[in-house]
Chains A and B, each alone.
Chain A
Amino acid sequence: MSTPEQLAIVQSKFTTGEIVVIAMEAMLVQDWLKTTRLIALVNKGSTNALVILLTSRTPPQVYSDLTIEKILPIDQDFQCDIGTDEEQKDVTDVYLNVTCRKSRTIFEMRPGITTTNLVSAIFQAIEVYQKNKNPTTDFLWIQKLTGSVRNLDSTNDRLLSAADPVIELESSDLVVSRRNIATGKSPIGTRESVVRYQMACKEDDYTYTKTLRIFIGTWNVNGQPPNAITLEQWLSSDEVPPDLYAIGFQELDLSKEAFLFNDTPREDEWRQVVAKSLHHKAEYEQVALVRLVGMMLIIFSQSSHLPHIKNICIDTVGTGIMGKMGNKGGVAVSCCIHNTSVCFVNAHLAAHCEEYERRNQDYADICARLNFQTYVPPKGFKDHDQIYWLGDLNYRITEMDAQTAKQLIADGNLAPVLALDQLEQQRRLSRVFVGFREAEIKFKPTYKYDPGTDNWDSSEKGRAPAWCDRVLWKGEPIASLTYQSHPELKISDHKPVSATFDSKVRVIDVTKYRKIHEELMKKLDKLENEFLPQVTVDTTEIIYETLRFDEPCAKELIVANTGQVPVKFEFIKKLDDTSYCKEWLSITPYTDFIEPGQKCDIKLEVCVDKRSAWKLNSGEDKLYDILVLHLVNGKDIFITVTGTYERSCFGCSIEALVHIPVPIREVPIGRIMELENNKNTSQDPYYVPKEIWLLVDRLYRHGIKTPGLFETQGLHSEILAIRDWLDNGSQDPMPGSVHSVAEALLLLLDSTAEPLVPYNLHRIGLSAATNYLQCKQVIMQLPEIRRTVFLYICAFLQELLTHTQDNGLDAKTLASLFGSFFLRDSPRSRDDRNQRSKSTQAICDRKKAAFVYHFLINDQSDFVGR
């Protein structure tokens, strides 16, 4: 380690100003295990910190091989001494004992010049601190690196418990170091992954269960502020104080500001009211808060449980049009309570009575897209032991007239009404919430009331009552206790709902754990080197027939363990590749264990979507990949994946499309590639691609007065039908609702290699955003075809805006939406997003919106003529 190249790789984990002074490999010693780590001394200004990194291979080759595991600030709490192993006769290894925040970490290092340098650098850093006595604020940069405030805030005793080796062993700290045999490393040795798996299998033998009272609450507050109200009637109506609260709100703020820029003062107002109204018989602390536009989820826990809640992680999914707008969707918190993983989801699904299919789709989207990044590898929604789902799910009752329903409800006869509840119906058909359970509903519908009363909605629309607000759960063993609404709280047109549960979580028995662990180690010692892993696969060539744009197609690969020992397989990267497969392919699971005699079905799903289609059109990529299926400690198998892609106008550049006068399916592949690479263009191209014209024309004729146009998500099946209609050509009218047409238009713009305003103009475009004249100049710099398309779409949007009274659209919303497409972030900077602060992103989004806004409110006729 510590060659300049390797130091550079470690350095790339940090930003300017944070200097990696020295870095080297060391073994982290945890009672029974020694695992490879990288330790680095990082300097910023006059402060230093010792950073412990996980590396998926040694030495690390690229930035992504490294994950920061822990950062120990070198401050008054930091202590360090060196020693040697007393047990060993020939003393060779250096032991570095580091104590920080009362937790002790031991590293074993090879003696040598690097070790000496590292140790002396650490001692120097301690001296520097003792001279300066930097205030804690000087160490704030560390907080940013760990991405968590808890880490720094954590009190001493919390870290004490985290320092328990057993707990560490089960936490994400112990990440299987992904070894790449291809780099020449030996297959003997590392067996922590096997150990982890075996320990997971024996979990019942060293854990016991503990029951927690969990309170789940949901309320759609209809944009109302919590002025002068408290929530005890909802949150602490029970005798027993809950151990854990998960409280979800919807429609926290209905303002445009919140919708467009995800900014609202309501977040804190409601948070405070909730905190005040928690059960008075116990002390609570906030565990997590997550919000997307009007959806907010807060988790509170009794303070005594906090040390046992780990891996807290949040995620949000917006399911508005193109998955962009966060007015609908879900927010979620994932965490481990003792040894049980738990996920809470607060969702607000699509509105409108008839739209239950859209609600089902929203649900599916949220499930598929939730992704919790603090875990390595990231955890999906399904990977939890317990899931609690709450929210305004918006399912209605349409098969009974409102009057009859109200009468039955007034008579206390809920059953016939409940039987027609869409959610009940859809669940019975297994269309949504498969595997979830819901307690019996014994309360009146929670929607829709005249605010301030218990009277049904008396407005003109006179909406039928519905159980919009629900709580469901999945996982064992969860016992439902109560499920009720709280009509006492009247400020909204919805009533809050609560559900309580007695849920069992698993707790580790340390003594038993140690014993079982030791036995396992002995057994493994014996097995090691006696057997090699052995598997067979049912095929090494996976051939996909015709694949179409945005239409996933899955095939199975069966891997059977035909050997004597458990096998861990994983797909690994080839020499120069950045990922183990091409981006149009996804493999689940990409790594797993197989016991002898067992098999594993691996799903290989190909989906050519907006990220990959253009590369196939231009010939930059092919539907061909060789995957390396690697058996840990054993051989590798090559799996060849091929397919035929049916080209579509989606993924074609604007420049190519204007030269294609016929449906794209009639054009030979070679010709498309030619056009994509700007060769042999035709004599008189269209002014705008016919596909854009057709979509806009359709919207112009049929959607110009449709409320919610460009705000409502389309249906995937309809978008595919539109795709076929465009690609094949047809005499029939364009299929699909106008919402699907609108989404198809956006998807077309989103599938090109570069956005309409090319990346190289973004910087100047965004800095000119406030000045109309300068924005115009940027547009003047666009290639002619792009300028025409830009102005053409803007002209159409202007036309839309003349019908505001019908479609309810406003220029700001359209500018914000189209800004994000016209000036789409480059894939690289989208990756940076996580690092980029929320506010920087918001500023950038505002500028994009401002840029486009000019062209929606100013007359463009002088422009078009050019």
Chain B
Amino acid sequence: MSAGPYNYSYIFKYIIIGDMGVGKSCLLHQFTEKKFMADCPHTIGVEFGTRIIEVAGQKIKLQIWDTAGQERFRAVTRSYYRGAAGALMVYDITRRSTYNHLSSWLTDTRNLTNPSTVIFLIGNKSDLEGQRDVTYEEAKKFAEENGLMFVEASAKTGDNVEEAFLETAKKIYQSIQDGRLDLNAAESGVQHNPSQPGRTNLQGVLSVQQGGKDSCSC
């Protein structure tokens, strides 16, 4: 079959959250374009990026929402948590304040997503070892206490960026296999027919069945 627009089996929705300037947009850009943006403007709104990855032989389309970190937009960005399958929570290892705010970000995430949402903590700017303000151990402990996955990464060098996005996807995929994430629930929104408009369900996962009608890609 030719590579039509539906050559993937699932769509996962991600959100990236965290204080302003921690490098959320750079992480997204590094992941989708494999490039670093040295002077990236503040995000005034919610950016949108997408990439198709492979987990256990399955093609998965990641649909990633990068939110504005500025405090004044906090009330508005809360609208975007719903239906996320994965949440990447980012702080800047060179600025302790961004780490101190994590508990408030975590509270929002827990309140506004569902229990099966995978939360991944990223300590960004690991290339700036000299300016480090938060130790790896401290953050690791915080992650364990709260049941989060965790890495330190650098949007500049690309270190661990790919890993963070992929590990999250694997975890979600596992949840589906385990049946913890029920795609066939009343509101699963699971999609079997590529000719229909797609939509993700409340778990932020959408499955697209292969085969069926030949998706024309002329």
Chain B 188-218: CB-based contact to A (< 8 A → 1; otherwise 0): 0000110111111110101000011101111
Q: Which residue of B lies closest to A85 (CB)?
A: B193
Q: Which residues of B contact A58 (CB under 8 A)?
A: 199
Roughly how many angstroms separate A397 CA and B10 CA in the complex, as a whole number? Answer: 74
Assess the A186–B63 pair: CB atoms within 8 A.
yes
Q: Which residue of B lies closest to A626 (CB)?
A: B76
Roughly how many angstroms separate A634 CA and B65 CA in the complex, as a whole number? Answer: 10
Assess the B48–A34 pair: CB atoms within 8 A.
no
Roughly how many angstroms separate A185 CA and B13 CA in the complex, as a whole number? Answer: 9
Q: Which residues of A contact B201 (CB under 8 A)?
A: 184
Assess the B73–A626 pair: CB atoms within 8 A.
yes
Q: Which residues of B contact A626 (CB under 8 A)?
A: 72-73, 75-76
Residue from B78, B187, B198, B212 in contact with A186 in the complex, judged by beta carbons closer than 8 Å: B198
Roughly how many angstroms separate A636 CA and B216 CA in the complex, as a whole number? Answer: 30
- Given A1-B186, A92-B192, A638-B68; A186-B200 close (CB under 8 Å): yes
Chain B 119-151: CB-based contact to A (< 8 A → 1; otherwise 0): 000000000000000000000000000000000
Assess the B76–A574 pair: CB atoms within 8 A.
yes
Assess the A186–B216 pair: CB atoms within 8 A.
no
A88 within 8 A of B: yes
Roughly how many angstroms separate A35 CA and B196 CA in the complex, as a whole number? Answer: 8
Assess the B48–A184 pair: CB atoms within 8 A.
no
B208 → chain A, closest Cβ, in Å?
A: 9
Q: Which residues of B contact A532 (CB under 8 A)?
A: 48, 50
Assess the A2–B186 pair: CB atoms within 8 A.
yes
Assess the B193–A93 pair: CB atoms within 8 A.
yes
Roughly how many angstroms separate A183 CA and B218 CA in the complex, as a whole number? Answer: 33
| Chain B count of residues within 8 A CB distance of the other chain | 42
Chain A 81-109: CB-based contact to B (< 8 A → 1; otherwise 0): 00000011110110000000000000000
B54 within 8 A of A: no
Roughly how many angstroms separate A638 CA and B44 CA in the complex, as a whole number? Answer: 6
Assess the A636–B193 pair: CB atoms within 8 A.
no
Q: Which residues of B contact A185 (CB under 8 A)?
A: 83, 199-200
B80 within 8 A of A: yes
Q: Which residue of A lies closest to B195 (CB)?
A: A34
Roughly how many angstroms separate A860 CA and B76 CA in the complex, as a whole number? Answer: 55
Stretch at the interface among A348-356, A469-477, A521-529, A778-786: A521-529
B104 within 8 A of A: no
B71 within 8 A of A: no
A223 within 8 A of B: no
Q: Which residues of A contact B171 (CB under 8 A)?
A: none
In B59-102, which residues have CB < 8 Å from any A CB? 63, 68, 72-73, 75-76, 78-80, 82-84
B45 within 8 A of A: yes
Roughly how many angstroms separate A93 CA and B187 CA in the complex, as a whole number? Answer: 16
Q: Which residues of B contact A525 (CB under 8 A)?
A: 5, 215-218
Assess the B79–A182 pair: CB atoms within 8 A.
yes
Report the contact-size class of chain A (Cβ under 8 Å from the partner): 35 or more
A540 within 8 A of B: yes
B20 within 8 A of A: no
A24 → chain B, closest Cβ, in Å?
A: 10
B106 within 8 A of A: no
Assess the A637–B44 pair: CB atoms within 8 A.
yes
A114 within 8 A of B: yes
Assess the A638–B199 pair: CB atoms within 8 A.
no
Assess the A634–B213 pair: CB atoms within 8 A.
no
Assess the A628–B199 pair: CB atoms within 8 A.
no
B192 → chain A, closest Cβ, in Å?
A: 5
B46 within 8 A of A: yes
Residue from A2, A184, A574 in contact with B204 in the complex, judged by beta carbons closer than 8 Å: A184
B56 → chain A, closest Cβ, in Å?
A: 22
B57 → chain A, closest Cβ, in Å?
A: 21
B153 within 8 A of A: no
Q: Which residues of B contact A1 (CB under 8 A)?
A: 186-187
A410 within 8 A of B: no
- Given A114-B186, A574-B75, A575-B79; A190-B197 close (CB under 8 Å): yes
Roughly how many angstroms separate A34 CA and B198 CA in the complex, as a whole number? Answer: 11
Chain A 672-693: CB-based contact to B (< 8 A → 1; otherwise 0): 0000000000000000000000
Q: Which residue of A lies closest to B184 (CB)?
A: A112
B204 → chain A, closest Cβ, in Å?
A: 6
Q: Which residue of A lies closest to B83 (CB)?
A: A184
- Given A88-B212, A574-B75; A188-B187 close (CB under 8 Å): no
B186 → chain A, closest Cβ, in Å?
A: 7
Assess the A188–B196 pair: CB atoms within 8 A.
no
Assess the B46–A635 pair: CB atoms within 8 A.
yes
Roughly how many angstroms separate A188 CA and B196 CA in the complex, as a whole number? Answer: 10
Q: Which residues of A contact B11 (CB under 8 A)?
A: 186, 188
Roughly how many angstroms separate A522 CA and B48 CA in the complex, as a whole number? Answer: 25
Q: Which residues of A contact B83 (CB under 8 A)?
A: 183-185
B60 → chain A, closest Cβ, in Å?
A: 13
A858 within 8 A of B: no
A287 within 8 A of B: no
Assess the A59–B187 pair: CB atoms within 8 A.
yes
A72 within 8 A of B: no
Assess the A638–B5 pair: CB atoms within 8 A.
no
A824 → chain B, closest Cβ, in Å?
A: 33
Chain A 613-657: CB-based contact to B (< 8 A → 1; otherwise 0): 000000000000010110000111110100000000000000000
Roughly how many angstroms separate A640 CA and B70 CA in the complex, as a whole number? Answer: 13
Assess the A637–B50 pair: CB atoms within 8 A.
no
A189 within 8 A of B: yes
Roughly how many angstroms separate A540 CA and B5 CA in the complex, as a whole number? Answer: 34
B205 → chain A, closest Cβ, in Å?
A: 10
A631 → chain B, closest Cβ, in Å?
A: 8
Assess the A635–B47 pair: CB atoms within 8 A.
yes
Assess the B84–A184 pair: CB atoms within 8 A.
yes
B15 → chain A, closest Cβ, in Å?
A: 10
Roughly how many angstroms separate A58 CA and B191 CA in the complex, as a whole number? Answer: 15
A735 within 8 A of B: no
Assess the B5–A528 pair: CB atoms within 8 A.
yes
- Given A187-B63, A528-B5; A635-B48 close (CB under 8 Å): yes
A9 within 8 A of B: no
A36 within 8 A of B: yes
Roughly how many angstroms separate A87 CA and B82 CA in the complex, as a whole number? Answer: 36
- Given A1-B186, A114-B186, A182-B79; A90-B45 close (CB under 8 Å): no
A322 within 8 A of B: no
Assess the B5–A184 pair: CB atoms within 8 A.
no
Q: Which residue of A lies closest to B66 (CB)?
A: A635
In B140-185, which residues have CB < 8 Å from any A CB? none
A3 within 8 A of B: yes
A27 within 8 A of B: yes
A539 → chain B, closest Cβ, in Å?
A: 10
Q: Which residues of A contact B46 (CB under 8 A)?
A: 635-636
Roughly how many angstroms separate A575 CA and B112 CA in the complex, as a whole number? Answer: 11
Residue from A182, A522, A629 in contact with B82 in the complex, judged by beta carbons closer than 8 Å: A182
Q: Which residues of B contact A638 (CB under 8 A)?
A: 44-45, 68, 73, 76
Q: Which residue of A lies closest to B112 (CB)?
A: A575
Roughly how many angstroms separate A88 CA and B68 CA in the complex, as a whole number? Answer: 44
A354 → chain B, closest Cβ, in Å?
A: 53
Q: Which residues of B contact A90 (CB under 8 A)?
A: 192, 211-212
Roughly how many angstroms separate A90 CA and B68 CA in the complex, as a whole number? Answer: 44
Q: Which residue of B lies closest to A573 (CB)?
A: B79
Q: Which residues of B contact A635 (CB under 8 A)?
A: 45-48
A639 → chain B, closest Cβ, in Å?
A: 8
A413 → chain B, closest Cβ, in Å?
A: 67
A280 → chain B, closest Cβ, in Å?
A: 54
Q: Which residues of B contact A528 (CB under 8 A)?
A: 5
In A42-97, which residues have CB < 8 Å from any B CB? 58-59, 87-90, 92-93
Q: Which residues of A contact B44 (CB under 8 A)?
A: 540, 637-638
Can you list 9 A-B contacts (CB < 8 A)? A1-B186, A27-B196, A88-B212, A183-B83, A184-B83, A187-B63, A191-B197, A540-B44, A628-B76
Give me 10 other A-B pairs in contact (C-beta within 8 A), A93-B193, A186-B198, A187-B63 excluded. Answer: A3-B186, A90-B211, A92-B192, A185-B199, A188-B5, A189-B198, A522-B216, A540-B45, A635-B47, A636-B45
Closest 3 interchain pairs by CB? A184-B83, A189-B197, A637-B45
